[in-house]
Structure 1
């Protein structure tokens, strides 16, 4: 049995979002404020807490429609609450079960013809029995009107409730509750728009907890409250005590459930209890002697006095768990030898505390589920104990305080820890563990399989005043193209996964752009300088392979690439020259696959050099993607001004920054290319001569990265200007992020 899909509706940023569940672990990735936390909260409130939903959980853009529905209510007409319920949060949960698991899911089977496979359950907010939403709201509004007929005053004063939102703020938990409805498996669609299937006619609820006896759900929240030894007075038992002893408190919980010798004692437990009793007896004898004089003195003062008044005695009662209820119950041995030098838990680094705490919690989740230790009672197998067949574990932001290697190790092993049990490790185990992790870390994402990623992407506010989010499933993204899938996944594994968390992506040709673009952006594009940009270094012959991924992410993406002009082919179909200096009327074509097959989907150089439709760069009409490549730029040389089309980023940069190149060439260790470029600037008599000299030097033995590094030596890096084609692309990207004119 396993979860296959969970659809979230009308919950915070997720108006309509589909979360396909991987068999083992599912990673929620995406930029800040993209809806990952909304998804985790929805799973918690619907599946774990089974309630606690309030007005802040309703998608903000839905309130306009909700107010319109409530505003149409009158005393005379009966209210149709179905339209209201469709605007409130609900969850569609789809599971897959075999016929052998019939005894677990019998209450979820919608028809007698079910023979295994999908089962669907909708969890939604509904009025409690006897609750009359319409009558309560209208009565509250009428009462406010009787007291204050004028309604809202000029200074904003109004009696409660001024609208239905304000009414629900106070009454939602009193009037609504969760209820579950069975869905028809025939209504399940594997793809297409996210839309809730209709409930079967006359559907009746089956209660707020349809997964009782079927699901064991646990959670590690993002706020784990660790402290450093220098924070407050945690180890002295003061206010920070609880926060600094997270692991110790977990150990106490584990002790009570699985080890406590007073619960179903074993022979070993009896020995421990006898030792505790002996220690208690000895200590009580010492207390009696130690307090004898003090108690005698009290009696001499007449307290307690009289035959009928009880006498004061002092004794101790030692419980097994008491030995763990102190600030140094958990210690770390730092000696490395037999000397046993130890420090309390809070004296270790926050990262180590977080790692140990999370792993221990995972072990506890597993052992609680499998009823290890004292849970076992006298039965033999988990099936006999009525253990739930499905465990769902939620982890928010496991990367807190962890350095990158530990992040990857934790993510690679977390599911294995949850399955480290004799009944779970079997290939034919009847128990399933599914892990859901939300993260902001590219290193966490790096440790997971590409197919396990679920990308949360922000949408424009199509439905109201705030943006919502959708989810892109990375599974099957490249279809049957196994070569492209292999290339993209290996490329990302060998570089980084930060594009899943970026505000915008810039695809570049090589190292020179990677070195200089951050400086060009920082000093001339302040909006981009404060954005989270992900740079993908890909040549023009490979960037198009990223197309399915980039289009799926729908993040503003600027592709900066080269024209890669080649001369026309001869009568035998062979290229006359492998590369050519771009120019009009030479019957040239491009060798760049991005330009030929993606954007702008053109091959002829003459056509490519024509002014793009929006005078900035070629863009995708359906997605925020643009491509920028070399176009004619005005160059002044030898007293002449001429439109020159460069062939690469490097010669375009030289043509736009002649004085900066001259200065860089004067550095003691300037590379041969920088010096050659400076010489060309000095020797060329016309713009065309300069362009030819630069092209010929690039065609010999390019030192592009060294040239870019040389430019970092100039005194004022702020004078460096981006080539015109890149400047246009950056203007477009800034507009795409801010909604300004550049994106038009």
Structure 2
């Protein structure tokens, strides 16, 4: 039995969102402010047992707050029509006003098997279809009486006149008019429903939330004692467990013995004070008698505020406080302890919950990459080793290492590129790619790439795909020179070589993040065996670049590529940039190196003596070449440098003044724009 689908309406940025939940672990990824945490918060608002977690006005999608204000205006107009005697128009406006009052909604679809214990969900099974193994629970925050809300809203507005602030009134009164309700809804007929008490709904679905911003203290004072307090909570959760009964009884027996000794000491210490009370007639007042001070020591009370986590020092003689441990290990201990405590509480709950979902926000906080990979790799097995119950885990993360370990099927990508949040299921992406001609090969490549490289494209504002080392080393400098605004954005730079950018096509189109592909035009001579590289001015030259031929702009001759208009190099959110002449009718490079040489021929000529690769230039163009000579020989120079591309990039970095090749400049300028 597990939750398979969640549908959200009108909660913060999630105006209308659907998410398929993995039976075991779901990874929620996306760039900042893409509503990942909001999704988790919604479950907390509806299903947490804490009284401190309440809905507020700002939980409504901002456009729906505006709808509330508009509803008040419609309601006021309806009253005016009624006063004027037009009851028909008044009723129409009144109905529109009430319909405009928004509600926050979370609809959960749950699948179960015939072998599952159905007792915990018997109240929400509303169909008689033997082949239907699905139930639905809908949690709603809505106005209890929309008409009264709007009437009071209008009346307050009238009384205050121009001084009335709709937002402040709604914020102050929100909790007075909006309440949560829970209903079971038939999966085969939406009209068949049954109201559930909040306690009944929360008994069906047990949740626990482990947030990223835990207050760990790494100072000697140990002010927060986060771990110590967590162990206190774990003791309270475990103290009623029969499996630990003997250990807990031993603790309580020891405390009882200490309590008896304290009672004797209390009698001696407080006896003079109690005698003083008799002077004021306490012993003469019936039924009052002189009090006796006794100790009442309980295990949970002793732990509360009195427990400290300590770590052994190097010689194991002087224990060190909690704050002396690294934040990474503290975070990991805290997370595992919270998970263990959740499993314990579910096992001991009465009645037993039908479903358990554990929400973990950014578990990578304070963990180094290896610990991140280990965590995501072992979380499912760890839970299975501690309970026979099916516990679903929902993890929000910005960790490319966790994403790489999880695989596509578990990833849900929150896309914030449009006007609203769109949730994209990468298991669907995986299935769709498999259907294409080379889909399985593409998936295998992408999965291997994710394991071997940082796949931070899932969290990026923008993406740049580059071919090789020289571009990677010089790209930060090029961005600083011609696209400074990109330095203030989260840009993922991915090195893909000259043949593999096209492998990312489906994934990039799926993610819909603005992406620039910087690649080489790769001119080859089709008239020669094995089609060797050739200058771009060869009239019959073709490109060997798979991206240019199969994707953008979808052309194979160098002539047609150089004639391609800028708009034809763009498809939706993706643009390709390949070599073009620096000047009209000027030479065009074949690779990054000769394009850079053409763009900076004069600078290279002036600084040739300072270049580590001076000898490669001299062998091609002789001593003291001029800028025009270097420009005309760029192809041959670059060919001689083919085995020294990294050194060439370092030489370029040391130049005091150089120009970004035109094709990269144009591409980065496009990427800079919203």
TM bracket (short chain):
0.7 to 0.9
Residue matched to 2:235? 255
Residue matched to 1:107? 123
CA distance in 1, matches of 2:621, 2:306: 69
Matches within 5 A, 1:719-738: 719-735=657-673
CA distance in 2, matches of 1:32, 1:267: 49
Residue matched to 1:358? 335
Q: CA deviation at 1:398?
A: 1.5
Q: Among 132, 138, 143, which residue is 2:151 paired with? A: 138
After superposition, the C-alpha distances for 1:93-141 in whole angstroms (9 at most, x for unaligned) are 122112344434333334312423333333223332xx2x234423442
Q: CA deviation at 1:553?
A: 1.1
| 3-state SS, counterpart of residue 434 of structure 2 | coil
Alpha carbons of structure 1 residues 679 and 63: separation in structure 2 relative to 1, 3 Å: farther
Note if contact 1:304-1:311 (Cα within 8 Å) is conserved in structure 2.
Answer: no
Residue matched to 1:494? 452
After superposition, the C-alpha distances for 1:531-578 in whole angstroms (9 at most, x for unaligned) are 1111110123111101111111111100000111222358xxxx5632
Report whether the alignment pairs 1:710 with 2:651.
yes
Q: CA deviation at 1:729?
A: 0.2
Q: How many residues get paired?
A: 649
| 3-state SS, counterpart of residue 563 of structure 2 | coil
CA distance in 2, matches of 1:487, 1:494: 11
Report whether the alignment pairs 1:603 with 2:556.
yes
Note if contact 1:393-1:434 (Cα within 8 Å) is conserved in structure 2.
Answer: yes
Residue matched to 2:503? 545
Alpha carbons of structure 1 residues 175 and 315: separation in structure 2 relative to 1, 3 Å: closer
**Structure 2 gap segments, 5+ residues each:** 83-89
Matches within 5 A, 1:588-667: 588-614=541-567, 618-620=569-571, 623-634=572-583, 643-662=586-605, 665-667=608-610
Alpha carbons of structure 1 residues 226 and 543: separation in structure 2 relative to 1, 3 Å: same
Residue matched to 2:138? 122
CA distance in 2, matches of 1:209, 1:307: 48
Note if contact 2:312-2:319 (Cα within 8 Å) is conserved in structure 1.
Answer: yes
Alpha carbons of structure 1 residues 219 and 681: separation in structure 2 relative to 1, 3 Å: farther
Alpha carbons of structure 1 residues 647 and 210: separation in structure 2 relative to 1, 3 Å: farther
Residue matched to 1:512? 470
| 3-state SS, counterpart of residue 440 of structure 1 | coil
Q: Among 204, 208, 214, which residue is 1:218 paired with? A: 208
Matches within 5 A, 1:153-552: 158-159=163-164, 162-163=165-166, 165-183=167-185, 185=187, 200-201=190-191, 205-208=195-198, 211-230=201-220, 235=222, 240=223, 244-259=224-239, 271-286=250-265, 288=267, 291=269, 308=284, 315-326=294-305, 328-335=307-314, 337=316, 339=317, 341-371=318-348, 386-421=351-386, 423-424=387-388, 431-461=389-419, 468-477=420-429, 478-480=433-435, 481-552=439-510
Report whether the alignment pairs 1:18 with 2:48.
no
| 3-state SS, counterpart of residue 364 of structure 2 | coil
| 3-state SS, counterpart of residue 284 of structure 2 | coil
* Bigger proportion of residues as helix: 2
Residue matched to 2:44? 44
CA distance in 1, matches of 2:489, 2:123: 50
CA distance in 2, matches of 1:543, 1:95: 40
Q: CA deviation at 1:325?
A: 3.3
Q: CA deviation at 1:60?
A: 1.3
| 3-state SS, counterpart of residue 406 of structure 2 | coil
Residue matched to 2:56? 54
Note if contact 2:12-2:61 (Cα within 8 Å) is conserved in structure 1.
Answer: yes
Matches within 5 A, 1:30-109: 30-48=30-48, 52-73=54-75, 74-75=78-79, 76=82, 77-78=90-91, 79-80=94-95, 84=99, 87-101=102-116, 102-109=118-125
